[in-house]
A and B are shown apart, each in its own frame.
Chain A
């Protein structure tokens, strides 16, 4: 069965410091992996995706993610956090039937 795990419910980081939000996955076949961000009382917004190619994927707002096949991980990173990055982040995987499976989300707080 397909699944996504986000082991941290909450991540706190000081403004200007690098941030990492962790994600591991389980899927049959080649993984299609995604990161989405949700601001309060809003829908989810697409940040980036990995389909194939380079393991380091760059996305919106300076975020990037590294695909690691051996560790089945797809961690979200940003070199320098901003207060405005504070939000709820979701990792997701798409299977061959076009179904998406989301993690439970990680709440990121960037402290000024």
Chain B
């Protein structure tokens, strides 16, 4: 039982490049979330999903897109990366209100 995994662990992008972050969970959880963590800002919700095929915007959705084609996977896309998207990204899945977090992806946009 791997829990919540995130791929990749670290990535460097140039401004304007695109990439997809993958989150996978093997706990059969319905709810999944993408957050970004910045110094002094805590965690801020980007997008979330309450089930396969559904997505919703969180607090800071601009510049990001998501897809939940399979229950176990939640993808976060950056179509045109900007330096302001340099951050640590965390995925979480949820069961009975409790969230379980992945180890994070550190993204640097130059």
Contact = CB atoms under 8 A, between A and B. Distances in A.
Verify that A and B bind, or say they do not: yes
Given A32-B97, A43-B90, A46-B100, A101 B40 contact: no
A99 B46 CA distance: 10
Contacts, number: 56
Contact of B45 (A41, A46, A100): A100
Interface residues of B, number: 26
User: Mostly helix, strand, loop or mixed at chain B's interface?
Assistant: strand
A72 B92 CA distance: 26
Contacts of B48: 98-99
B42 A105 contact: yes
B40 A43 contact: no
Interface centre among A42, A44, A49, A104 (most CB of B within 10 A): A44
A11 B41 CA distance: 17
List 6 A-B pairs, minimum CB-CB distance, nearest first.
A43-B101, A104-B42, A102-B43, A102-B42, A44-B101, A43-B103
Interface of B: 4, 31, 33, 35, 40-45, 48, 50, 56, 58-59, 90, 92, 94, 97-104
